[in-house]
Structure 1
Amino acid sequence: MKVEIWSDIMCPFCYIGKRRFEAALQEFAHRDQVEVIHRSFELDPTSPLQTDKNYFEYTAAKYGISAETLAKQSRSVTERAKQEGLIFNYNTVKNANTHDAHRLLYFAREFGKEQELLELLYKAYFTESLPIGQHESLVSLAEQVGLDRQQASAMLDGTQNGEAVRNDQLLAARLGIQGVPYFLIDGRHAISGAQPASTMTQVLDSAWKEAKASQNQLDSDICDGGIC
């Protein structure tokens, strides 16, 4: 079973959804046969690599809402994150452009380190308030998961994996994905948003049963044709 997950590192519900999906997977009987693939989705591709404005000032100005309203919303999200064991420090979050972080995730995939790096990126942004749009921070995180520092730095200095990131977003557009997180199971079953873990487990179970039923029908058709 293949699960593709569109998300962005600066998306709070993506981090919450990631933790809930991990909990759902633990309850799924066939979890050892699940392949999880990260797909890029840039919520703010025009965001600068760095800005002097804090999270509230930048986001409020971009979306035309008051910093006070945004602060109230962030407190609510912080409480929801806490229920999943996550720590959000919105007061010190450093706004970032996540394009290079997504490119680095593709680089990490080549070495089987994609999921480890994704976890560190979320923690770096929401908890540790690191500027994940800057190469220095990204290279340090890459090194922490065991990737070669010089190779990661060279990759970031170029344009490698940029097309892969864009293709993920084009695919999302073709699928009609307008928000993240978005989970696509075997290309047929979708979960939109950070749904409860129990809901995710139910969808995984349904997808597995449908896939097995389809395989059984195919086997039966083959036998009826005198091939088996």
Structure 2
Amino acid sequence: MRVEMWTDVACPWCYVGREHFAKGLAAFQHRDQVEVVHRSFELNPRAENGTVPIIDAVAAQYGRTREQQIAREEQAAAMANAVGLEFRIGGRVFGNTFDVHRLAHFAATRGLQGTFLDLAFRVNFAQEASIYDRETLVRVAVEAGLVESEVRKVLDDPDAFADEVRADERLATELGAGGVPFFVLERRYGVSGVQSPEMFTQALEQAWADRSAA
């Protein structure tokens, strides 16, 4: 059974949602027969890399006050902490995640996509290191098990794996995804947002039962 998961490493709800899904999958009896495919989704495809604090940038983007955005960050942090994830507030910056997505697709060719994304999310939210910094991104990729020279070659070529990222984003649009996290089970069931681990287990069980019946 296949589960497709659209996320963006800049999204705090994706950070939590991925962990909720992982816990829901762990409780699923047929978890060893589930293929998880990570797909790309850019929350801010026109963003430029810089030094603007994420709190200020997102508050301005959605018309919130700084205090309102901090409250949302605190909410995300509490949800992350509840499932054992570290989440720091105040140090992240706003930027473009296209290179992260390109490297995720490259990592998939080496069987390391999930590992790379786990580390990228952790570096962004637990360490607040800039995932938009080239050397940080190279370090994350190497730590995931990728070869440094190959990673740099991908980053040096703006066309490398760009088509794969765009294809994921087109597919998300076709399937009706307006945001992330977004999960699709067997191309029949969609689960959006930060659902509970129990909800994910139930969705997996339903998809499995319908698949078996078919």
Residues of 1 paired with 2:28 and 2:172: CA distance? 26
Determine the structure 2 residue equivalent to 1:47: 47
Determine the structure 2 residue equivalent to 1:127: 126
Dislocated runs of 4+, deviation >4 Å: none
AA matched with 2:198: S
Residues of 2 paired with 1:201 and 1:40: CA distance? 23
Residues of 1 paired with 2:197 and 2:20: CA distance? 5
- Higher radius of gyration, 1 or 2: 1
Determine the structure 2 residue equivalent to 1:29: 29
- State the aligned residue count: 213
AA matched with 2:73: S
Q: CA deviation at 1:144?
A: 0.4
Structure 1 unaligned regions, length at least 5: 215-228
Q: CA deviation at 1:76?
A: 1.6
Q: CA deviation at 1:92?
A: 0.9
Residues of 2 paired with 1:210 and 1:185: CA distance? 11
Residue-by-residue CA offset, 1:171-212 (whole Å, 9 max, x unaligned): 111111101111101110111111101111011011111111
Residue 55 (structure 2) pairs with residue 56 (structure 1):
yes
Residue-by-residue CA offset, 1:115-159 (whole Å, 9 max, x unaligned): 000000001111111111122111111110111001101101102
**Aligned counterparts, 1:189-200, within 5 A:** 189-200=189-200
Please tell me whether the aligned partners of residues 49 and 132 of structure 2 are also in contact (alpha carbons under 8 angstroms): yes
Residues of 2 paired with 1:8 and 1:167: CA distance? 15
Please tell me whether the aligned partners of residues 41 and 168 of structure 2 are also in contact (alpha carbons under 8 angstroms): yes
**Aligned counterparts, 1:124-203, within 5 A:** 124-158=123-157, 159-203=159-203
Residues of 2 paired with 1:64 and 1:203: CA distance? 35
Tell me the TM-score normalised to structure 1 length: 0.91
Determine the structure 2 residue equivalent to 1:88: 87
Alpha-carbon RMSD across the aligned residues, in angstroms, is 1.0
Q: Secondary structure at the match of 1:90?
A: coil
AA matched with 2:86: I
Residue-by-residue CA offset, 1:7-45 (whole Å, 9 max, x unaligned): 110111111111011111111111111100001010011
Q: What is the identity percentage for the equivalent residue pairs of Structure 1 and Structure 2?
A: 37
Please tell me whether the aligned partners of residues 16 and 76 of structure 2 are also in contact (alpha carbons under 8 angstroms): no
Residues of 1 paired with 2:105 and 2:15: CA distance? 18
AA matched with 1:204: L
Q: CA deviation at 1:114?
A: 0.4
